[in-house]
Structures are given as C-alpha cells and as structure tokens.
Amino acid sequence: MPFDFKKEYKEFYMPKNKPEIVNVPSANYIAVRGNGDPNEEDGEYKKAIAVLYAVAYTLKMSYKTDHHIEGFFDYVVPPLEGFWWQEGVDGVDYSDKSTFRWISVIRLPDFITKADFAWAVETAEKKKKLDCSKAEFMTIDEGLCVQMMHIGAFDNEPVSVAIMNKYLEDNGYANDFSDIRRHHEIYLSDARKIASEKWKTVIRHPIRIR
C-alpha cells in the first residue's frame, strides 16, 4: 500500500472538530506564492494550484522515468495546504478576499532533494507545457500550534477560529502570528464533488504560552 501522510500522521491531518495543541515538526514542501481572491476565474491562485499538482505528480511518478530518486517509495500525494494573511490584519478578514496574500503548498516526502525538485519542475514544464517557474522548494517549521477540524464552507471559518481563540484564552496560550507564522489551512475535501456544508478543513494557528 502506498504511504499515506494523512493516515500515518493523523495528529497533523485528522484532528477532531475541537481545539487541540500540537507541536508540528519541520517539513519540506512544494510552494507557490501569490496574491488575490482564490475564487477568481483564471486568477493567480488557480494557476498556482495547477503548478503544485503538476510538480507533485511528476515526483510521485518519477519511478516510471529515467530519473532515480534515492530512497523512493510509493506514496499518496498529500493534501493541498495554504498559508494566508493580509497586510495589517491579525488573522484573516474573509470579507475582502482581494487583499489575500498566500503561499499554497503540498508536502514532500523526506527523500525528495532539491535536485529532485529541480528535475521535477523542468520535467513538468516540458510535459504539461506549463510555466512552473514560481514553484519553490520550501522548508517550514511551524512549531507550537492550535488546530481543529472545521466542517463547512470557508466563509464560516470564523466560527471555528472563535472557538480556537476561546480555548487559547482558557488554557494560558495566545496566538503568535508574524511574518513567518501564518493562518494555515489543510484541505481534505474535493470542493468540486462535495457540498460546501460537508467540506473538511484543518485550521491551524501558531501560538505561544502567555
């Protein structure tokens, strides 16, 4: 059976729909940065997602090519994730999506090196005829965080965030947003196939002890 990050690391991908504290270890990602409303047709965000998946699946299927990745084992491509922020806003203001700044990411297995990543970007560009130049190999160390599973549409996330904030207040923690610590979402549902009231999204915020 292919290695599945969601099943092997349930504490990071399958939390309960109530707040919990986690210490998230450093990991490597395919990343694309951008700005603007993620719902915009043919916008930056949708183009970024196409690049992420093109590179991710090129790496996953590398064993069928002449490119040998040392230590490779079969795996399920991890879910799409996103780090979101807006200038001058503590957290996220869903009422003005045009001001979003984001880094969209897909986790990489530890055996993927920067050289393997560069090969995948070049190969995906040629095979998919897609500009993948914005793809980055990014290492992210989230550290101490609060997270919970949000069930429902993205626009309803403030309800879950309020629950998380109350939990922090009651348990001696505080949010710790900064230029490198962001509002984080992990998308576990295919929005094209599932009704919005059933979407599952992990919401994760950086925190500190008060």
pLDDT of 92 strictly over 80: no
pLDDT digits (tens, 9 = 90+) for 113-151: 999 999 999 999 999 999 999 999 999 999 999 999 999
| pLDDT at residue number 167 | 98
Rounded Cα–Cα distance for residues 165 and 173 (Å): 9
Q: Which string of DSSP letters, residue by residue, matches 12-67? A: HHS--SS-EEEEEPPEEEEEEEEES-TTSTT-HHHHHHHHHHHHHHHHHTGGGSS-
Indicate the residue type of 54: A
Does the pLDDT of residue 47 top 90, yes or no? yes
- At 25-41, the pLDDT tens digits run 999 999 999 999 999 98
In DSSP terms, 107 is beta-bridged to 29
Tell me, what's the pLDDT at 119? Answer: 98
